[in-house]
Amino acid sequence: MSSQAHEHQPLGGRVLTLPFLICAALVAVAGVILFQRYTQGLAAASNLNDGYPWGIWVAIDVVIGSAFGCAGYVIALLCYILNRGEYHPLVRPAVLASLFGYGLAGLAVLVDLGRYWNFYHMMLPWYAQPNSVMLEVGLCVATYTLVLVVEFAPAFLERFGIEGLRAKLNRVLWVFIALGVLLPTMHQSSLGTMMVIVGHKLSPLWQSQMLPVFFLLTAILMGFAIVVWESVMASLNFRRPMETPVLSKLAGLMLVVASLFVVLRFVDLIVRGQIGQIFGGPQSGWFVAEMALMISGLALLIPKANRNRSRALFLSASLLLAAGILYRLNVYLIGFTPAVGPWHYFPSVKEIMVTVGVFALEIALYLLFVKKLPVMHAVHPEHG
Amino acid sequence: MSKSMMSKNKTSVSRRGFLRNAVKGSAAAAAAACTTVVAAPPEANALQRPPKPLPPDAVGLLYDSTLCIGCKACVTACKEVNHMPPDVGPAQQGWNAGGGDKPIYDSPVELSARTLNVIKAYSHGTGATKDAAENGFAFIKRQCLHCADPSCVSVCPVSAMTKDAKTGIVNHDPSACIGCRYCVLSCPFGVPKYDYNDAFGEIKKCQLCKQQLAKNELPGCADVCPTGATLFGRTEDLKAEAKRRTALKVGEHTHYPRGDIAGKVGGPRSGHEKLVEAAYQTHIYGEKELGGTQCLAVSAVPFDKLNLPTNVPENGYPTLSEGIQHTLYAGMIAPATVFAGLAYLAHRNTKNHTDE
């Protein structure tokens, strides 16, 4: 047992660093805006309207934020389901990132809900409307957040020396690991299905019954990309050795998923007879931007040597993350045109500051946790 | 780390081969499924669930744009009957802005959380001729169409939007609603609205004055319409009337009823005789759009000019979105099977790992 306890170590160091304080200040700004939102209504803090009832609080905080939270999903899938032990050092930081990604997506939902005091109706069977894709997403996300808490619990228990409970939890952890792979598969694909029902209001560049497949693929891709991205950032900022050998394997997987996405995207457009839309149809520039990011990100990974260069890895992960972000933004906001217009939407400064605050809270909590809890793999000279 | 590396090395070749094949096999199956899904033509889609039929006694409204004189009596009556607040644009405040809290002039231009029913106008060129697309003008009445297969009901996670099994009226219950505004987003006709200026805002939409119908009284709009441009009735009867009108020729003498087409709700009313002045479009709006709607419209000006969505499928969007969900989650068999497989692998593989 004692050798295990040394596998992960808190990073230690000062908590009140400049980045932490900046994040805390941004969270405070968001708090002030949210006071206005809760006392005067959604219009006091946002440009949401009846043409665009969903703005960046849904598209970015929830739909994109939860994709950021897919790190834990893909690493658990690799490590425990496909039994690739070499990814083990990445598990805890990934699960922690997921916990915050999902926890704060849940928080963002409460910011956006117009009648938030009724939110618990989602969990009461007598209110349930089983045809609603949103009900499935909501229940899945709520359950998954609890699963992430359990998956992360060993770090807490280890830190506070509660070995008995930790051993017991370890014996049943496989149930939670299985759930932790099943639930994101379900709700990440359903985030795509959610936009099928808006029909003609979503540009044919994105409207497709393949939406669930594309959302699952971007979830996996963004999960991989965030692991690589976060790992390089952690190495630079905490002056740890690069985990390049493990990351280069992840890079190979990113290449496969991104290529599959691009190929399926074009096949889908051709089969639906909408391929002409990419040449100057409305919003085609956004499609081109999305594809350019995706293709340049994956092209960087085609030479095998690049997969061992941390700079190329970082750039590629950044491009692929941006591609996934833009794809999801296109589906939820940019490609959407209200039924009976004209309506306009661009997020207000206050609205943007709330989103910034949500992500700042995520970063602040992450910094706090990796310093105080055994999250990061201990650095030994023999595995640099 | 070293232990987990060892466990990986101990993993037998046959097991890894099995796993690799399993992954390849499932990837191939997924690819095949994707191809089938994509290749299905949009009309006859294997994933779509059957469309929902209208209840036999479904009720609705027939709006005849050629009869509408744009008096907006229906807008006022709707506000009164449903106790809705006035909707006042900045240009319609009193000239001295001295009206205190009470705005003096209700002047909605679009459906909103304050306005369940509105008359909008189309105009072109000189705007001289009524019911002409060129150099003319025309009116359109906007309110909930009460779909046969409503998207708002399909998307609502907490059953706040419901469709009455008998009348087919789409109702909203604010006490159940969580305010997610998925109904606002999904409605193909842009009907449900939320109040963004209220800390405790509600979703608002026309409920066909169900409280009036319960008293055997007409919906506010149909009750006050002076020309019978808004007519209440069973949707089947209204559809027959719409077909009769669209078959009329210019200059023909015909009878237009008022109130309830069957003369029952709100008591019998006299209709009026009139010459047909503008050629009806053959298109009856709501007959086929997205699985059909209980409220219908006829007009002499094409409906796309009246700002209504016209290039829409004949099946409601829920047929596809629910079809996808029901296929993936039929009896929860697929998720349960996947879970069993994942649990088996996770159970076996965590034993090999040193930690967690």
The alpha carbon of residue B308 is apart from the nearest alpha carbon of chain A, in Å, by 7
Q: Is A339 on the interface with B (CB under 8 A)?
A: yes
Whole-angstrom distance, CA of residue B158 vs CA of residue A116: 13
> Residues with Cβ < 8 Å from B17, sequence gap 6 or more?
none
* Under 8 Å between Cβ of B161 and B186: no
Residues B272 and B343 in one domain: no
Instruction: Tell me what pLDDT residue A237 has.
Output: 77
* Under 8 Å between Cβ of B257 and B231: yes
Instruction: Tell me what pLDDT residue B30 has.
Output: 53
The residue-averaged pLDDT of A216-245 equals 86
**Residue A130 has which token pair?**
């089983």
DSSP states along A158-221: HHTT-HHHHHHHHHHHHHHHHHHHHHHHHHHHHHHHTTGGGGGGB-TTT--TTHHHHHHHHHHH
Instruction: Tell me what pLDDT residue B91 has.
Output: 67
Instruction: Tell me what pLDDT residue B31 has.
Output: 52
Q: Is A61 on the interface with B (CB under 8 A)?
A: no
Instruction: Tell me what pLDDT residue A84 has.
Output: 82
Q: Is residue B22 part of a domain?
A: no
Q: Please report which confidence band the pLDDT of residue A86 belongs to, taking 50, 70 and 90 as the band edges.
A: confident
CA angle, residues A9, A12, A15, in degrees to nearest 5 = 140
**Residue A87 has which token pair?**
């990814």
- Would strands A8-9 and B118-123 be described as parallel, antiparallel, or unpaired? unpaired
Q: What secondary structure, in 3-state letters, does B50-111 show?
A: CCCCCCCCCEEEEEECCCCCCCCHHHHHHHHHHCCCCCCCHHHCCCCCCCCCCCCCCCCCCC
* Under 8 Å between Cβ of B237 and B261: yes
| CB nearest to A135's CB, from B157, B203, B318 | B157
| CB nearest to B178's CB, from A80, A121, A199 | A121
Whole-angstrom distance, CA of residue A94 vs CA of residue B294: 52
Q: Is residue B6 part of a domain?
A: no
Backbone angles phi, psi at B119, to 5 degrees: -105, 125
Residues B169 and B303 in one domain: yes
| CB nearest to B356's CB, from A44, A170, A210 | A170
- Chain A positions touching B343 (Cβ under 8 A) are 174-175, 178
Q: Please report which confidence band the pLDDT of residue A1 belongs to, taking 50, 70 and 90 as the band edges.
A: very low
Across the interface, whether the CB atoms of A178 and B339 are under 8 A apart is answered: yes
Whole-angstrom distance, CA of residue A127 vs CA of residue B23: 39
Q: Is residue B250 part of a domain?
A: yes
Residues B237 and B339 in one domain: no
**Residue A106 has which token pair?**
């849940």
Across the interface, whether the CB atoms of A138 and B157 are under 8 A apart is answered: yes
- Chain A positions touching B317 (Cβ under 8 A) are 196-199
Chains A, B: CB contacts within 8 A come to 245
Interface test with A, best of B142, B180, B182, B350 (most A CBs within 10 A): B180
Domain A9-339+358-371 has CATH 2.60.130.10: no
Side-chain-side CA neighbours of residue B199 (13 Å): 7
List C-alpha distances in Å: B163 to A4, A155, A179, B179, B206: 58, 49, 35, 18, 13
Across the interface, whether the CB atoms of A182 and B342 are under 8 A apart is answered: yes
Residues B197 and B164 in one domain: yes
Whole-angstrom distance, CA of residue A162 vs CA of residue A326: 44
Tell me the pLDDT tens digit for each residue of A7-26: 788 888 888 889 999 999 99
Residues B302 and B342 in one domain: no
Residues B185 and B292 in one domain: yes
- Chain B positions touching A131 (Cβ under 8 A) are 154, 318, 322, 325
Residues B349 and B291 in one domain: no
Q: Produce one character per residue of A202-219: b if its CB has 16 or more CB atoms within 10 Å, e if not.
A: bbbbbbbbbbbbbbbbbb
Tens digits of pLDDT across chain B (356 residues): 344 433 434 344 444 454 455 455 455 555 544 444 444 444 457 788 899 999 999 999 999 999 999 999 999 999 999 999 888 876 666 666 655 555 567 888 899 999 999 999 999 999 999 999 999 999 999 999 999 999 999 999 999 999 999 999 999 999 999 999 999 999 999 999 999 999 999 999 999 999 999 999 999 999 999 999 999 999 999 999 999 999 999 999 999 999 999 999 998 899 999 999 999 999 999 999 999 999 999 999 999 999 999 989 999 999 999 988 888 888 788 888 889 989 888 888 877 655 44
**Residue A50 has which token pair?**
């009846």
Q: Is A71 on the interface with B (CB under 8 A)?
A: no
**Residue B206 has which token pair?**
């026309």
Q: How many CB atoms lie within 10 A of CB B256?
A: 18
Number of domains chain B contains: 2
Across the interface, whether the CB atoms of B325 and A383 are under 8 A apart is answered: no
Instruction: Tell me what pLDDT residue A281 has.
Output: 75
List C-alpha distances in Å: A209 to A262, A294, B32, B330, B344: 16, 21, 15, 17, 31
List C-alpha distances in Å: A380 to A236, A383, B45: 17, 6, 57
- Chain B positions touching A165 (Cβ under 8 A) are none
Q: Is residue B42 part of a domain?
A: no
Residues B348 and B265 in one domain: no
The alpha carbon of residue A21 is apart from the nearest alpha carbon of chain B, in Å, by 31
Domain containing residue B302: CATH number: 3.30.70.20
**Residue A151 has which token pair?**
């998956």
The pTM assigned to this predicted structure is 0.89
- Residue B349, helix vs strand vs coil: helix
CA angle, residues A343, A345, A346, in degrees to nearest 5 = 160
Q: Please report which confidence band the pLDDT of residue A110 belongs to, taking 50, 70 and 90 as the band edges.
A: very high
**A 312-331: CB under 8 A from B:** none
Q: Give the amino acid at A331.
A: V
Residues B220 and B111 in one domain: yes
The alpha carbon of residue A19 is apart from the nearest alpha carbon of chain B, in Å, by 31
Tell me the domain boundaries of chain A: 9-339+358-371
Residue whose token pair is 């598969």: A185
Q: Is residue B2 part of a domain?
A: no
List C-alpha distances in Å: B32 to A90, A220, B25: 33, 20, 11
List C-alpha distances in Å: A165 to A2, A331, B298, B338: 16, 44, 71, 29
Range of the domain at B330: 317-356
Residues B255 and B350 in one domain: no
CA angle, residues B325, B327, B328, in degrees to nearest 5 = 65
Residue whose token pair is 């009724």: A118
Across the interface, whether the CB atoms of B345 and A213 are under 8 A apart is answered: no
Closest-CA residue of chain A to B156: A132
ipTM of the complex: 0.91
Whole-angstrom distance, CA of residue A314 vs CA of residue A320: 10
Across the interface, whether the CB atoms of B196 and A42 are under 8 A apart is answered: yes
* Under 8 Å between Cβ of A238 and A11: yes
Across the interface, whether the CB atoms of B325 and A199 are under 8 A apart is answered: no
Across the interface, whether the CB atoms of A340 and B202 are under 8 A apart is answered: no
Across the interface, whether the CB atoms of B38 and A272 are under 8 A apart is answered: yes
Side-chain-side CA neighbours of residue B337 (13 Å): 7
Residues B235 and B245 in one domain: yes
In terms of Cα–Cα distance, which of A354, A350, A346 is closest to A51? Answer: A346
**A 352-381: CB under 8 A from B:** 377, 380
Closest-CA residue of chain B to A134: B157
Interface test with A, best of B35, B158, B293, B303 (most A CBs within 10 A): B158
- Chain A positions touching B43 (Cβ under 8 A) are none
Residue A233 pLDDT exceeds 70 = yes
Instruction: Tell me what pLDDT residue B103 has.
Output: 59
Q: Please report which confidence band the pLDDT of residue A4 belongs to, taking 50, 70 and 90 as the band edges.
A: very low
The alpha carbon of residue B354 is apart from the nearest alpha carbon of chain A, in Å, by 7
**Residue A254 has which token pair?**
């990113």
Instruction: Tell me what pLDDT residue B24 has.
Output: 53
The residue-averaged pLDDT of A185-206 equals 95
Tell me the pLDDT tens digit for each residue of A112-165: 999 999 999 999 999 999 999 999 999 999 999 999 999 889 888 888 888 888
**DSSP H helical ranges for chain B:** 2-10, 13-39, 73-82, 151-155, 182-186, 210-214, 220-224, 235-246, 318-329, 333-352
- Chain A positions touching B174 (Cβ under 8 A) are 115
Residue A2 pLDDT exceeds 50 = no
Closest-CA residue of chain B to A379: B1
Q: Is A105 on the interface with B (CB under 8 A)?
A: no
Interface test with A, best of B116, B156, B342, B353 (most A CBs within 10 A): B342
Instruction: Tell me what pLDDT residue A9 has.
Output: 83
**A 246-285: CB under 8 A from B:** 264, 267-268, 271-272
Instruction: Tell me what pLDDT residue A366 has.
Output: 87
Tell me the pLDDT tens digit for each residue of A50-75: 999 999 999 999 999 999 999 999 99
Residues B321 and B311 in one domain: no
